[in-house]
Amino acid sequence: MKKKYLSTPITNEDLKDITAGDIVYLNGYLVTCRDVAHRRLIEYGRKLPVNIEGGAIFHAGPIVRPIEGEENKFEMVSIGPTTSMRMEKFEKEFIKETGVKLVIGKGGMGLKTQEACKEYKALHAVFPGGCAVLAATQVEEIEDAQWMDLGMPETLWVCRVKEFGPLIISIDTHGNNLFEENKVVFNQRKEKIVNELQQEVRYIK
Amino acid sequence: MEISQGRVQKQNNEMNETITKDVDKISVKIHDENTVNQKQVMIDTLAKFIDKIGKILPCDVMRALKKLRSEEEQPMAQVIYDSMFDNLDMACSLNRPACQDTGVIQFFVKVGTRFPLIDDIEEILNEAVVKATADAPLRHNVVETFDEKNTGTNTGKRAPYIDYELVSNSDSIEVEVYMAGGGCTLPGAAKVLMPSAGYEAIIEFVFDIMTSYGLNACPPLLVGIGVATSVETAAQLSKKALFRPIGSRNENEKAAELELKLEKGLNDLKLGPQGLTGSASVMGVHIENGGRHPSTIGVAVNVGCWAHRRGNITINSDMTYTTNSHMGVEL
């Protein structure tokens, strides 16, 4: 597996040689963006207070703490991905509206996001869940924070990152969706295993 | 004389009464101070313990993960296991929560009926959470429902969650602390089956969850299954199943056998770490069971993510303690 790199701002050209299953590292800016921020943009039509065209978002709600002696400056303590599927309802329109090029989270995303990634040229990638200190050490600085009224997990934290990864590409711009492909295999295996196990649990006689 | 003697006697009695009352007041005061001191000691101990379990995994979970890592054959899965173990090392050395999602704290307490602070448990647990939230720090995770506002303290209405069991003739308390993120809380499900569906339907229920929501819940998972009579009885047991040491077996022979068969069956799905395929799927399967109504089979599933942050601590009446789940860890 060859290490690949992406830097923001990301262009369509940067994405064309990346395929599902590749491992990528990110340099530049990464903005946390999850449930309520998606809802505000799509359902309530509010403008996102951070420009993420050509940028990257992270489905994540971090632990941050104020830096003593500095006003409105925060240190990234712990930041890992949250379940991306929760944003499936909004992500296609979100990608279209914002021009975001890299969506990072945990677990797979569905057909609509897959369509958006192909149509508007974007990627979905997985950062290993639960590895939040590893990720925090790859954040050089929190440069800005918006929509702080949403509380610590849901605030848009604008992070400058260095070699942020491993990012395992789950949806590419060519229509591949790693999780959906894996699911087909898992379900085939499941059918056989469940049938066999069911023969062994006839306890009610 | 008699009159005067009587008066002196009366004065003496009055004086004695006053002294006795004062002594009573003093002893009540000393008792109060002791209780206040003891409460603070218990709050501090629990706050430190909550802080620790967010940073260091229990011994049994570490053993299970190390085994899975050593047996992993797929290159991408190996990269993920490397990240997981690097992360655990950093969480320890940098003293930070291993996963940013430190959950809505849940406590399952077994309290001795003669434990001296039995009246103050709720207050102590709440204050320990507030303190750990600031000290660890923990993510602010309690959102008041309907008001939809984050309280910023990890406490709120019925949060942290506290489950009580009373233990007769004991003066100590055993506290199970559980810190589950949203990811591994989402797959949780319970339903009541008709007996005609049988245990066969339980198998299907478990596997359907694992190949859908389970993929996003940070596998390799610990799977807790409750089998009883209704949704809440099954659900409660499925959660408690997650607190058993990994690899321990149900005392019922058939249930124990099914735990092993489910472990093998789920591992044969080869979900891999993060559901991205690999050599295995689970850290273990635990079943907890209870009696059922003849017309129903209640079943529930709860899963714990690979960063299964639970801790068990026993606190004695003199506030000395033992960290049962984290041997050798100092608070």
Structure tokens at A16: 């064309």
B181 interaction partners in chain A (CB closer than 8 Å) = 130
**A16 in a structural domain:** yes
- pLDDT confidence of residue B27: 63
- Averaged pLDDT score across all residues of chain A: 96
Among A71, A41, A46, CA closest to A57 = A41
Q: Is the pLDDT of residue B8 over 80?
A: no
**Confidence category of residue B33, pLDDT binned at 50, 70, 90:** confident
- Residue range B1-55+95-181+308-331 forms a domain whose CATH class is alpha beta
Q: Take residue A69 and report the two structure tokens written for it.
A: 């002696």
Give B95-114 pLDDT, tens digit per residue.
999 999 999 999 999 999 99
Give contacts of A 60-119 with B, CB under 8 A.
60-63, 65, 77-80, 82-85, 106-108
pLDDT surpassing 80 at residue B24: no
| H/E stretch holding B281 | none
Domain membership flag for residue A189 = no
Q: How do beta strands A139-146 and B282-289 pair?
A: unpaired
> Is the pLDDT at B253 greater than 60, yes or no?
yes
Give percent of chain B with pLDDT exceeding 70. 91
> The complex's ipTM?
0.91
**Residue of A38, A59, A124, A174 marked catalytic:** A38
Mean pLDDT of chain B: 93
The 10s digit of each residue's pLDDT in A146-170 is 999 999 899 999 999 999 999 999 9
Domain range spanning residue A38? 4-177
Question: What pLDDT is recorded for position B1?
Answer: 43
- Cα–Cα distance between B252 and B262 in angstroms, integer? 15
User: Is the model's pLDDT at A142 over the cut of 80?
Assistant: yes
* Residue A174 is among the residues annotated as catalytic for this protein: no
Distance, in Å, from the CA atom of B214 to the CA atom of B220, rounded to the nearest integer, reads: 9
Tell me, what amino acid is at B149?
Answer: K
Total tally of structural domains belonging to chain A: 1
Residue A99 lies in a domain: yes
Predicted confidence (pLDDT) at residue A70 exceeds the cutoff of 80: yes
Q: Between chains, do B218 and A23 touch, taking CB under 8 Å as contact?
A: no
Q: Residue B156: which H helix or E strand, with range?
A: none
CATH number at residue A126: 3.20.130.10
pLDDT at B31: 67
CATH 3.30.1330 in chain B is located at 1-55+95-181+308-331
Mean pLDDT within B285-298: 98
In-domain check, residue A121:
yes
CB atoms within 10 A of CB B11: 10
Beta carbons of B281 and B266 less than 8 angstroms apart:
yes
Whether residue A4 has pLDDT greater than 90: yes
pTM, to two decimals: 0.90
Taking the Cβ of residue B144 and every Cβ of chain A, the question of whether any pair is shorter than 8 Å is answered with no
Q: How many CB atoms lie within 10 A of CB B234?
A: 30
pLDDT tens digits, one per residue of B125-146: 999 999 999 999 999 999 999 9
Residue A103 falls inside a structural domain: yes
Choose the weakest-confidence range: A12-26, A43-57, B30-44, B63-77: B30-44
Residue A188 lies in a domain: no
Please give the pLDDT value at position A3: 81
Domain membership of residue A192 (yes or no) is: no
pLDDT confidence of residue B35: 83
Return the C-alpha torsion angle B139, B140, B145, B148, nearest 10: -120
